[in-house]
C-alpha cells in the first residue's frame, strides 16, 4: 500500500511553487535545492505537470516555472493524479477500467477497494496548495 516518490516529490515541488507564488517564474534548480530533490529527476516530474496544465514554463535565462492557477485552485488530488495515475488501489477500481475480470460485477473485495479509493480521493481533493501554505504558516507561528 504505497505511493511512489513521484507523488511525494511532485507535491513538494508544487508546494514550493505555491509558497513563492508571484508573477515571476522560479527556476527548477531553486526548487530542487530548497526541497532537496534531484533536479534532473524533478524535471521529468514537472514535465508531466506542465503537460497536464498545472504549471506554465518560461524558457531562457530568468525563466522557470509558475503555477498555472492560484494555489487555491490546485488540489493535492490534481497533482497526485497526474504523477501517480488514477487513484485506485487496484486496477479494477479505477474509473477508467475496461477490464476482463469475470467477477467484476459481484466481487465483494472489489467493493472494499472502491470504498478505499473514494476516501483517498475525498482527502486529496479537499486539500489545496493554499491549505498547505496556510498550515506551514501556522506551524511556523507555533514555533516562535
Contact 112, 39 (CB under 8 A): no
Min dist. Cβ of residue 3 to DNA (A): 8
Binding residues for DNA (CB under 7 A): 4-6, 9, 25-29, 38, 40-41, 43-44, 46-47, 50, 57-65
- How many residues does the structure list for the chain? 144
Closest CA to 75 of 87, 65, 64, 63: 87
Q: Which is nearer to a copy of itself, 59 or 106 (CB)?
A: 106
Min dist. Cβ of residue 103 to a copy of itself (A): 8
Task: State the Cα–Cα distance between residues 40 and 15, nearest whole angstrom.
Answer: 18
Angle (CA) 65-68-72 rounded to 5° is: 115
Q: Which does 120 bind (CB under 5 to 8 A by kind): a copy of itself, DNA, none?
A: a copy of itself
Task: State the Cα–Cα distance between residues 107 and 54, nearest whole angstrom.
Answer: 36
Q: Which does 29 bind (CB under 5 to 8 A by kind): DNA, a copy of itself, none?
A: DNA
Task: State the Cα–Cα distance between residues 99 and 118, nearest whole angstrom.
Answer: 20
Min dist. Cβ of residue 143 to a copy of itself (A): 8
Q: Which does 127 bind (CB under 5 to 8 A by kind): a copy of itself, DNA, none?
A: a copy of itself
Q: Which is nearer to DNA, 58 or 133 (CB)?
A: 58
Amino acid at each position: 500500500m504505497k505511493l511512489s516518490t513521484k507523488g511525494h516529490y511532485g507535491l513538494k515541488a508544487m508546494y514550493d511553487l505555491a509558497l513563492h507564488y508571484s508573477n515571476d517564474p522560479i527556476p527548477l534548480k531553486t526548487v530542487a535545492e530548497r526541497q532537496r530533490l534531484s533536479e534532473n529527476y524533478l524535471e521529468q516530474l514537472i514535465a508531466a505537470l506542465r503537460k497536464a496544465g498545472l504549471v506554465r514554463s518560461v524558457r531562457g535565462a530568468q525563466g522557470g516555472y509558475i503555477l498555472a492557477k492560484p494555489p487555491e485552485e490546485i488540489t493535492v488530488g490534481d497533482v497526485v493524479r497526474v504523477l501517480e495515475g488514477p487513484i485506485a488501489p487496484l486496477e479494477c477500481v479505477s474509473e477508467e477500467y475496461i477490464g476482463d475480470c469475470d467477477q467484476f460485477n459481484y466481487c465483494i473485495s472489489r467493493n472494499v477497494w472502491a470504498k478505499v479509493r473514494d476516501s483517498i480521493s475525498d482527502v486529496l481533493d479537499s486539500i489545496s496548495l493554499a491549505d498547505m501554505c496556510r498550515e506551514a504558516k501556522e506551524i511556523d507561528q507555533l514555533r516562535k
